[in-house]
Amino acid sequence: MFDFITETALFKEYEVYIMTTIYVLVIMIPLFVAVAYTTWLERKVIGAMQVRIGPRNVGFRGLLQPWADMFKLIFKEIILPSGANKVLFVIAPVITLASAVAAWAVIPFDAEKVLSKVNAGLLYVLAVTSVGVYGVIIAGWASNSKYALLGAMRSAAQIVAYEIAMGFALVGVLMAAGSMNLGEIVLAQKGTNGLLDWYWLPLLPLFLVYFISGVAETNRAPFDVAEGESEIVAGFHVEYSGMTFAVFFLAEYANMILISALASIMFLGGWLSPFEGVHNFLWLGIDMHALTAWVPGMAWFFAKIFIFIFLYLWFRATFPRYRYDQIMRLGWKVFIPITIVWILVVGFMVLGEVSPWWGATA
Amino acid sequence: MTGVQFLFYAFAAMMVFCALMVITVRNPVRSALFLVLTFVSCSAIWLLMEAEFLAITLVLVYVGAVMVLFLFVVMMLDININRLKEGFVKYLPVGIGVAGLFGGMLTWLLYNVEAADLKTKMRTMYPPSAKPADYSNTEELGEVLYTVYVYPFEIAAVILLVAIVAAIALTFRRRTTTKYQNPDQQVSVKRDDRLRVVKMDSEEKK
């Protein structure tokens, strides 16, 4: 179709760069659309949970509401506080968004659909997401405002605490799969028992710790003390307005989707079907493997992401905000000991070749 | 100049510039942020050398954890720059001496009697051959670390553990004046602990 372009000498010379840019756009644009509709979904779901209707006036069932919000925020004035450090003030939201987006480079969507098959993919994701906290810290400091600084302090302490638990949970996955390549981690969960082959079962404590730490890392309710509008107004982004504020929100939702994607890759078998190799479903003689063979892997992957996104929204509608010292206690005194103990257990399980996850049958 | 060379010089220049800014900028927070940028450019250079494990770990450990704590402290402290600069003239000779020593050592190394030899070596030394795509730097490093260097590695780990225990022991003291809550007790509280229902007759209207 595009022969007249792909045949040119100029294209051939820069093919790698051009194709990579196109692949990046193919990931980025749907991601931002997904972010926009996550905000719509959030308002609808929380509305339903609180017996309200949610947005309904802009477009059919309020489906155009995210676009209306976006245009409103784009045309709003960006206010630079007079006492702020101008350069850092503008860079902060960019850092937050960049780190949220960069991690998508190694996320495998299907067996061969991944932008970059990095060997140390797991480490890369952990490193890139840990840079995101600088956006919050710099925003809080550059704003030159008490509330913003308090929010930044809380966020820094919280993220350092939960990153350790998160890292240890990933060590468990790494030991179980024997690889840091996200694609190979998914393939290590492939077996003949469908969803029982995934790591959520043998690594259940790590799975729970990972997802709860993920909620804390993205500063979402009930761990949103960095914003804490009832205590410190809006935390680190009090002074932000218009598009700079919107970029923070974009990053927060992109991070939510990212954590959901990572949790589904590491614990729920990524693009694998839950009926993989299940030829005799519940001993009823139904061949679910053949029945669901037509579903593309990506559909399963997106369905799993959706489950986690829904959990995020459910948490927000259900739980009251944690108190700051309780968050610290949970992170340091509960999660880290749990993960350390379970890493030992995983070690013994891998050594003992516990089936069906390890050993010859896996 | 190839793309890789361009990237190397770009990141190297950025690293030297940021390292200079770390020691010349007046504001301690900005200085810490420049140190972060130095680490990031260093990690980019390591990536160019195909040492991806070291590069990623540098970002993860130093940028993601150590410098966050550093900034945390620096932002809270009200550091007086003028007092820090007080000893500048006094220590200037020592500083010049150390700088001169290092500069002298480098010059000696580069322009020694063997300089001619070194120059030819540098000219004829080719970059190491690129590794195949399935080469895992992480695995290689792990293998060496847990076989050849297992004792140094474990001794380093024990030293770090001792440091952690010492740091906690130094700061851990229970102050009797602070009030704190015990969540276990809070959760397991019974109705009878908190509430007493008193039966009494209603008062007569006078």
pLDDT tens digit string along B87-117? Answer: 777 888 898 999 999 999 888 776 665 555 6
Contact A274, A293 (CB under 8 A): no
Tell me the shortest Cα–Cα distance from A185 to chain B, in angstroms. Answer: 15
Amino acid at A352: G
What pLDDT score does B122 carry? 61
DSSP H or E stretch at residue B44 = helix B28-48
Tokens 């969960």 — which residue? A189
Å between B150 CA and nearest CA of chain A: 19
Rg (alpha carbons) of chain B, rounded to whole number: 30
Mean pLDDT rounded to a whole number for chain A? 83
Q: Is the dihedral of CA A318, A324, A325, A328 positive or negative?
A: positive
Q: What percent of chain B has pLDDT over 90?
A: 18
pLDDT digits (tens, 9 = 90+) for B136-192: 777 888 888 888 889 999 999 999 999 999 988 888 777 777 777 777 888 888 888
Q: Can you tell me the distance from the alpha carbon of A123 to that of B61, in angstroms, rounded to the nearest whole number?
A: 11
Identity of the highest mean pLDDT range in A52-61, A227-236, B36-45: B36-45
User: Cβ–Cβ contacts within 10 Å for residue A105, how many?
Assistant: 18
> In terms of C-beta distances under 8 Å and separation of at least 24 residues, what long-range contacts does A72-78 make, across chains too?
A73/A242, A73/A243, A73/A245, A73/A246, A74/A242, A74/A243, A74/A246, A75/A242, A76/A241, A76/A242, A76/A243, A77/A241, A77/A242, A78/A241, A78/A242, A78/A243, A78/A244
Residues with Cβ within 8 Å of B121's Cβ and at least 6 positions away in sequence, in order, are: none
Q: Are B35 and B69 in contact (CB under 8 A)?
A: no
Burial of B14 (0-12, 13-18, 19+ CB in 10 A): middle
Residues from chain A that touch B52, judged by Cβ atoms under 8 A, are 118-120
Cβ contacts (< 8 Å) between B54 and chain A: which residues?
none
Q: What percent of chain A has pLDDT over 70?
A: 94
CB contact under 8 A, A163 and B137: no
ipTM: 0.79
Model confidence at A228, in pLDDT bands (50, 70, 90)? low
- Residue A28: φ, ψ to 5°: -65, -45
Overall average pLDDT of the A201-215 stretch: 89
Q: Which residues contact A7 (CB under 8 A, 6 or more apart)?
A: none
HEC sequence for chain A: CCHHHHCCHHHHHCHHHHHHHHHHHHHHHHHHHHHHHHHHHHHHHHHHHCCCCCCCCCCHHHCCHHHHHHHHHHHCCCCCCCCCCHHHHHHHHHHHHHHHHHHHHHCCCCCCCCCCCCCCHHHHHHHHHHHHHHHHHHHHHHCCCHHHHHHHHHHHHHHHHHHHHHHHHHHHHHHHHCCCCHHHHHHHCCCCCHHHHCCCCCCHHHHHHHHHHHHHHCCCCCCCCCCCHHHHCCHHHCCCCHHHHHHHHHHHHHHHHHHHHHHHHHHCCCCCCCCCCCCCECCCCECHHHHCCCCCHHHHHHHHHHHHHHHHHHHHHHCCCCCHHHHHHHHHHHHHHHHHHHHHHHHHHHHCCCCCCCCCCC
Per-residue pLDDT reduced to its tens digit, A165-197 = 888 888 888 888 888 888 888 888 887 777 778
CA-CA-CA-CA torsion sign (B16, B20, B22, B26): negative
B33 touches chain A (CB under 8 A): yes
Beta bridge mates, A286: A281
Quick check: A223 and A252 in contact, CB under 8 A? Answer: no
Closest chain B residue to A153, measured at CA: B72
Is A294 within 8 Å of A275 (Cβ atoms)? Answer: no
Q: How confident is the model at residue A84 (pLDDT cuts 50, 70, 90)?
A: confident
A-B contacts (CB, under 8 Å) = 68
Given this model, what pLDDT does residue B98 score? 93
pLDDT at A362: 43
In angstroms, rounded to a whole number, what is the distance separating the alpha carbons of residues B111 and B95? 24
Predicted confidence at residue B128, as pLDDT, reads 64
A interface with B, Cβ–Cβ below 8 Å:
88, 118-120, 123-124, 126-128, 130-131, 133-134, 137-138, 141, 149, 152-153, 156-157, 159-160, 163, 180, 326, 329
Neighbours of A192 (CB within 10 A): 14
A300 CB contacts (<8 Å, ≥6 apart)?
A: A271, A272, A273, A274
Any idea of the CA torsion for A27, A212, A160, A126, to the nearest 10 degrees? -30
CB burial of A196-225 (b: ≥16 within 10 Å; e: otherwise) equals: ebbbbebbebbbebbbbbbbbbbbbbbbbb
Which of A123, A133, A137 is closest, CB to CB, to B57? A123
The answer, yes or no, to whether residue A1 has pLDDT greater than 80, is no
Of residues A117 and A41, more confidently modeled = A41
Structure tokens at B109: 């190394």
Average of pLDDT values for A14-18?
79
Contacts of A180 in chain B (CB under 8 A): 138
Which contiguous run of DSSP H or E holds residue B4? Answer: helix B3-24
Q: Is B112 strand, coil or helix?
A: coil
Asked if pLDDT for residue B67 goes beyond 80, the answer is yes
The whole-angstrom distance between A32's CA and the closest CA on chain B is 25
* Nearest-CB residue to B68 (from A88, A149, A160): A160
Residues of B in contact with A123 (CB under 8 A): 53, 56-57, 60, 138
CA angle in degrees (0–180, nearest 5) for B195-B199-B200: 135
| Residue of A13, A122, A133 to mutate when probing chain B, most B C-beta within 10 A | A133
Kindly indicate the confidence band of residue B85, based on its pLDDT and cuts at 50, 70 and 90: low
Residue B138 tokens read as 């992480």
